[in-house]
Structure 1
Amino acid sequence: MVHVDSGALSGIHDAGTGLDEFKGIPYAAPPVGALRWKPPQPVAAWSGLRAAGHFGPRCMQRPLFSDMVFRSAGMSEDCLYLNVWTPAHAHGGMLPVLVYFYGGGFAGGDGSELRYDGASLAQRGIVTVTVNYRLDVFGFLALPALAAESPQHAAGNYGLLDQVAALRWVHDNIAAFGGDPRQVTIGGESAGSMSVSALMASPLSKGLMQRAIGESGAVLGNLKPPPLDLSERQGEAFMQHVGAHSLAKLRAMPAAALLKASGDQGVAEFGPTTDGYFLPRSPEAIYAAGAQAHIPLLVGSNSQEGYYANLLARQAPTPANYRAAVQRQFGKQADEALKLYPGRDEAGVKASGTALAGDQFIAFATWRWMDWQRRTGDAPVYYYHFEQPRPAKRDGSAGPDPGAVHSGEIEYALGNLAGNRVYAWTATDQRVSAVTEGYWANFIKTGDPNGLGLPHWPAVAAKDGGLLRQAIGADTHSFVDRNAARYEFLQRFEPDAHL
């Protein structure tokens, strides 16, 4: 049992793991009715003992991702809950804290997913928290009418404001669970990683975290948020699409109808925007000015974030087909692209096509974050390249992936291979997980991933015409990454690209 600001909670003690688990803790008022598309409001206090033994509902989302395994009790707009795993008897202690935000393109995901389970890190002495935040149209709709009713004249980014509210809750309450509010690391993968980069840029979350982990994604480069006026125009188009002629009518619509309409053909995707409040300026401008949080950052991407077959539209990986695909994308700059991503034979096409597809998807934006933070962030940056492919599936339906696919590192880093029954994990996978989780745990505790028994991981620094980076996989080692020219080319080619 613990006492938080809003009342008393009873969790579950797991004698097998030696952990206390508290699930479905409300950190804000349900964002329903008049609170739909409002910043999160304080949770109402309760009397008596509130049970915290089950995950709260997941936020409204379409079934977009087949790899999400939820343990939550259904789906609801009333979804602003978080979960805490902590070592038993730690209450009153001062342990380091990880607050982890799920991925899913700002359209899916949940803090109950098996791959984000906090037990393994908690057994390493870390109070681990997963957070639900609003998604899709509920989390990111922007409208002039919403800006007009906002004291800050802002609209959109409600899902990111949820994350700030969760961090404030952690700051105010985590000591009751044995956590140290002055030792908070924020982490996430994909949209969760983008969220971490945005939280580092926002003045609203300054001082609420002391370290950050970003796994594949940032609100920079080709994934920078659009300006508010563009998001508002897209929001007005959605309003027209669903036939609502006022904000009041839109708020009165059933959540299921709004969710279904958000997936209709021609409807723009909902995501972060430069709203003037959570993000007073573009993230690029904030990082360029050194106005982001000056905290240690562990960041990187995977070896197969994209795949050459998608770039080639399933055509054969011949040099001619590859050249034609690159010319379609880059026009007059195709020759420069082919120098950076050469494809002179089938092996070269597969390697360069996979690199280009991954860079354009998310690796370029991740590099941009690393590069800004090392230049202007006044704190160490640790840059990784995760290279361990997932093994064959247990049912024999697929062999090992050629590389480490997008999101493939999560179970390794959080110590949750056993929770994923799809793959036939090998002894090598277990060893890579122990190393990866060891790095993450050390960084959460100290701001430095290095520790006893782990291959040395140097902070990012210039060396031999490139930057020091850590390859994490069956052969974990540091190397000199010389791919900056690729990313600088993409930055020149897509200066105005938005999320």
Structure 2
Amino acid sequence: MKKISAFAGCALLVAAAILFYSFKFKTVIIVLPGTIHVDGGEISGVKSASGDVMSFKGIPFAAPPVAGLRWKAPQPVLPWAGVKKCDAFGPSPMQPKPVPFGVYTNEFLIPEQPIDEDCLYLNVWAKNTIGVKKPVFVWIYGGGFGSGGAAVPIYDGEALAKKGVIFVSINYRVGVFGFLAHPELTKESSDKASGNYALLDQIAALKWVKKNIASFGGDPGNVTIAGQSAGSMSVNCLVASPAAKGLFNKAIAESGSLMVSNPMIKSTNLHDAEQQGIKLAAALHVNSLDELRKVPTADLMKIPGGYAPIVDGYVLPEPVSQIFAEGKENKVPLLIGWNADEGFVSAFKTKEDFIKEAKNQYGSDADEFFKYFTAGTDEEAARSQTKLSRDMIFAMSGYKWATLQAQKAKEPVYVYYFQHKLPATPDFEKYGAFHTGEVAYVMDNLKFLHRPWKVEDRLLASQVSGYWVNFIKNGNPNSANLPAWPKYNNSKSQVMVFDNRAMHKRLPDKEELAFMLKRAEK
């Protein structure tokens, strides 16, 4: 018998120790930095500069939704030969060229290239350690359902992976490619529905995670879905959808839901969406699905936006708010919140015009309206218009979701209010705690933004990301080294306020939100 070399002997001892550790403690060994098998074949990733995190970018989770698969539910991924190098993001979904505006610099935007209909890719960041199965965090980007992508710099997953979670970011179709409905599309679908391709993409990605994430050291039984803006609205839809049942265990919603009618995101029913599809086909002078699927991408990109999730009878069998009111949603712990200054106002009205319009709109409730939205000067009226926009687009719907969860659901809800004003040059100071401003703190990714960060910013990023990681792990944001964050209930209404530091207090503007919600539901 040949003697075993010292090197081979050591390798066998290490392997035996790993196997013992694995079976005893039910661990999963991440095969890094070699190859990992996923649906479709073998992939390889890239080791971080620190050496303790591996990233796998541009993993296909479905077949390219092009040609005959345009406006179809995502189909199984196509297999490949050899080892696919997953070292770069896949194309972002088809959308207009990203252009920085206002406070939104390039760090908040997808790269200019590549952008393509072939966009169904996801990315994984995993810490290169041996240990118990890690909780999984699935990030769904925002962009008004018309733009966005997983390759946005501030969505980098390395920092959270270092904190012990498997970070997954996914792409989904947007705009006309993600939401076009048409009677013929409905007819050909096995689900007898059309239009919610973006949500079906998200569900397909979650199914991929369920099936494949253990290969990266992740626990398929401990998955948190999270999103911001339209991504948060997507989370709201997934929690409501029977088609997503069993694919996740917790939800995080940052600035967005469809619990209340939204002036910017107009959800509709299948019939009305199909009628819009008929008009689109007529405008393009096409008479069949085959012709529609052959329309050049550039021509489709000329079509005005305004697409949103559809009550299609399958992904969303009823309006989201009705599903929650009837207690039919997927029951999961929820972390939800919004930002202090995230209203959108294109042009401010003078105090006189604001007062006149409010009196016309609110009638007998105008006096109460002006208790919350004062207009003593033009400057005060401008601040009230921003706050009113914030309430109508983001805060009111989030407040309703939190209120219903606290009132009806057995699972806990934790509410935050982000009011920390991001440091900025004088031109941008006025934006304060703007829409999306919290994301870099959540991801602990301040390094991706070129701003005059202070010590309190770095401390806040450590705290906020710590709360998120705790919730991802346990469904509870609390730990011994962080200020206590109480569960939300409708009597005390305690929320975590993020300013220069984290502190729980009564929900700011609660009476205002209750008034606005009452008005909206009249």
The Cα of 1:369 is off from its aligned counterpart by: 1.7
Partner residue of 1:254 out of 289, 293, 296: 296
For residues 157 and 399 of structure 1, the distance between their equivalents in structure 2, rounded to whole angstroms, comes to 37
Bigger drift between 45-54 and 193-202 goes to 45-54
Instruction: Give how far 1:32 is off.
Output: 0.7
Deviations 1:273-317 (A, max 9, x none): 10100011111111011111111110000000116x64xx3344x
The alpha carbon displacement at 1:93 in A equals 4.6
In the TM superposition, what is the alpha-carbon distance from 1:11 to its structure 2 partner? 0.7
Inter-partner Cα distance in structure 2 for 1:284 and 1:103:
20
Task: Identify if the C-alpha distance between structure 1 residues 124 and 62 changes in structure 2 by more than 3 Å, giving closer, same or farther.
Answer: same
Q: 1:128-167 to 2 correspondence within 5 Å?
A: 128-167=167-206
Per-residue displacement from partner, 1:163-208 (whole Å, max 9, x unpaired)?
0000000000000001000111000100000000110011111111
Q: Determine which of 439, 446, 467 is the counterpart of 1:439.
A: 467
Residues 77-117 of structure 1: per-residue CA shift (max 9 Å, x gap)? 11000000000135x85101100000000111111111110
Q: Give the aligned partner of residue 27 of structure 1.
A: 61
User: What displacement does 1:73 show?
Assistant: 4.8
Aligned to 2:214: 175
Contact 2:98–2:111 (8 Å) recurs in 1: no
SS in 2 for 1:459: coil
CA-CA distance at 1:72 after TM superposition: 7.8
Contact 2:374 2:384 in 1 (8 A): yes
Contact 2:348 2:382 in 1 (8 A): no
Q: 1:40 aligns with which of 68, 74, 81?
A: 74
In the alignment, the residues of structure 1 paired with residue 465 and residue 231 of structure 2 have an alpha-carbon distance, to the nearest angstrom, of 18
Q: Contact 2:134–2:164 (CA<8 Å) still a contact in 1?
A: yes
Q: Which of 77, 90, 105 is the matching residue for 2:117?
A: 77
1:266 paired residue number = none
Answer yes or no: is the 8 Å Cα contact 2:56–2:87 preserved in 1. Answer: yes
1:387 aligns with 2:419: yes
* Residues 228 and 287 of structure 1, relative CA distance in 2, 3 Å threshold: same
| Range 11-20 or range 108-117, more displaced | 11-20
Give the aligned length: 479
* Counterpart residue number, 2:329: 292
Shift of 1:431: 1.5
In structure 1, the gaps of 5 or more residues are 264-268
Q: 1:343 — aligned with what?
A: 375
Give the distance between the partners of 1:117 and 1:480, measured in 2 at CA.
33
Task: Please report the TM-score for the alignment, with normalisation by the length of structure 1.
Answer: 0.91
| Equivalent residue number for residue 216 of structure 1 | 255
Conserved in 1, the CA contact under 8 Å of 2:154 and 2:445?
Answer: yes
For 1:425 and 1:246, locate their aligned partners in 2 and report how far apart those are by CA, in whole Å.
55
One-letter amino acid matched to 2:348: R
Deviation, 1:71, is: 4.6
Q: Which residue identity does 1:255 align to in structure 2? A: T
Question: Which of 339, 345, 348 is matched with 1:302 structurally?
Answer: 339
Change (3 A) 1:334 1:145: farther
Alpha-carbon distance between aligned partners in 1 of 2:297 and 2:364, rounded to the nearest angstrom: 46
Q: Which residue of 1 aligns with 2:385?
A: 353
Instruction: Provide the C-alpha distance between the structure 2 equivalents of 1:78 and 1:193, rounded to a whole number of angstroms.
Output: 24
Q: 1:247 to 1:495 in 2, by over 3 A?
A: farther
The answer as to 2:271 corresponding to 1:271 is no
Task: List per-residue Cα deviations over 1:224-257 (Å, max 9, x = no partner).
Answer: 7321112112222222222222222111101121
Alpha-carbon spacing, 1:142–1:457, altered in 2? closer, same or farther (3 Å): same
- Taking a change above 3 Å as real, the CA distance of residues 72 and 347 of structure 1, as seen in their structure-2 partners, is closer
Identical-residue share of aligned pairs (%): 40
Using structure 2 for the length normalisation, give the TM-score. Answer: 0.87
Contact 1:388 1:432 in 2 (8 A): no
Establish whether residue 471 from structure 1 lines up as the match of residue 503 from structure 2.
no
